Chains A and B, each alone.
Chain A
Amino acid sequence: MSWFEKLLPSRIRTDGTKSKHTVPEGLWSKCPVCQTVLYRAEIDRNLHVCPKCSHHMRIRARQRLEAFLDPSPRTEIGAELSPVDRLKFRDSKKYKDRLAQAQKATGEKDGLIVMRGYLHGLPLVACAFDFEFMAGSMGSVVGERFVRGVNTAIDHHIPFVCFSASGGARMQEALFSLMQMAKTSAALNRLNQKGLPFISVLTDPTTGGVSASLAMLGDINVAEPNALIGFAGPRVIEQTVRETLPEGFQRSEFLLKHGVVDMIIDRREMRQRLVSLLAMMTRQPSPLVALLPDQSGQDTPPTDYAPDTERDSE
């Protein structure tokens, strides 16, 4: 700190250069598990999965959908919706200010992105929670966008896929937030009545109200490796039972063992595995035939989506 900065009273002084993020916005980044220093572009290319240890880092909603869906055509659903603060909620900060801050930091209006598009040519609606936006909490906009996504799937008679990553209900929207559990679950019931498949992909972390509603309601529930998934957060449970929780408690492998999810899928294989499942569920010819690498080359998966990376690294 320079002598001039020291003269400034502390409330004026800003430490703008010091970012609170553990991942610096530089060229290099460290895998939080194996500590390998990785080139950021490489992490992006590898869908935020560590090429060394296959640790699945969190990925932003828009980036996930862009990597998951075919490049075009894609239409975003519900982008015109933005949150309001009818309750004038205020804790240590105003909800209005928290929203403005989150919107500025993420470049998104709220924490769920919904798109209609294609997966290896198969039409569908996909949505993803953005954990960076107020911990992916479910407020009214998240609920309404989700429902509009489901309704679009119903209108076009196509499947629906959701990638969840959420701490649960958005407390600042109080009971409005709780009611989004009712709203999204009721919409999924309609989707089911139309005979359309819903695949729920639970990613790190999915807890609370999102886990206890839409995320558990897949015809098929999929988890990403080692994701934290549960109703109550581990700290709350520890306080209730007053004992240390076992290793691996509430992780994907634990849920698979207890019959809560159908399977665990590596993010780099997500496109291929989900299109295969969805094609079977909609009784269509296998898309995998067209995806075989030794074919003429026209229908091979995009190269930036590297399904074989895990096997290579082992």
Chain B
Amino acid sequence: MIKTVVSEDLPVHERLLIYKNVVGAKGKDGKRICIVTGIHGDELEGQYVCYELLRRLNEQTNELHGQVEVYPAINPLGVDSVTRGIPTFDLDMNRIFPGSPNGHMVENVAHQVVEDLKGADLVIDIHSSNIYLYEVPQARISNIYADKLYPMAEKLNLDFIWIHEAATVLEATIAHSLNSANTPTIVVEMGIGMKITREYGDRLVDGILNLLTDMGVWTGNKPTEVTQPIDSRTGDVSFINASRSGVIISALPHGTRVKKGDTICQLVNTLDGTVQEEVKSPVDGLLFTVRSYPIVYEGSLIARIFRDKE
């Protein structure tokens, strides 16, 4: 059943509308799981997940023993206008939660979205990095919620679970707002902005059904096996930032197991035809983030590598 979560008037003959599709029923003791995506209008990997998950649920509705709610576009103006943020509003939508009824309309929208999601047994907030970086399928969890969320995240068929410090700036995300309101919320990052990576979408849908099975919500088809993710607490993450501005030519795809000294990319000068720098891995490990967008400034993130402690 399609429901309207938010309806706000725009100045000229239009409304900002946020919809969700509610499948199944919570019942008396049933569970409610929410799939959220499209907070950033240029991150589209979640679109495929919404479609494929609903398709599979609709094929076996009798096997669903709870309520699944799918919100494909929390930022509909951004998704429909190829805009990461919300047109007419300067701030990143995922930096204004839990929102406010007394600020800009967008803060009011954020407030309504949080109120609608509160009380769910699980929320999965799907992102796809940005237009610059390619990411392996991974969950990101603040360390203050790790004990609660890790057991669920590890069932999502992901390659990596990154338990990170609770930076204050992240307190304004939807995930933090919901987790602090006792609504368990896992952030999934995978793929890249402005694209759909079908393989990753299929993997995450398998993982969601695997988790729903574990929660007693789903008795339909599920994958026979899921990937056991790497726990970031078993090692550390190295960041590689551009040492100078220029153009990068990638040498390795994301997800590669690299050795110390392997060339990740070349930083070149396209005006004089020279290689400025061979950017090499400082460690052995998993190249879980790699830059796709070729133009870099000094400091631009080129790669992140996870290294096991031993």
A and B assemble together: no
Task: Report B's interface with A, CB cutoff 8 A.
Answer: none
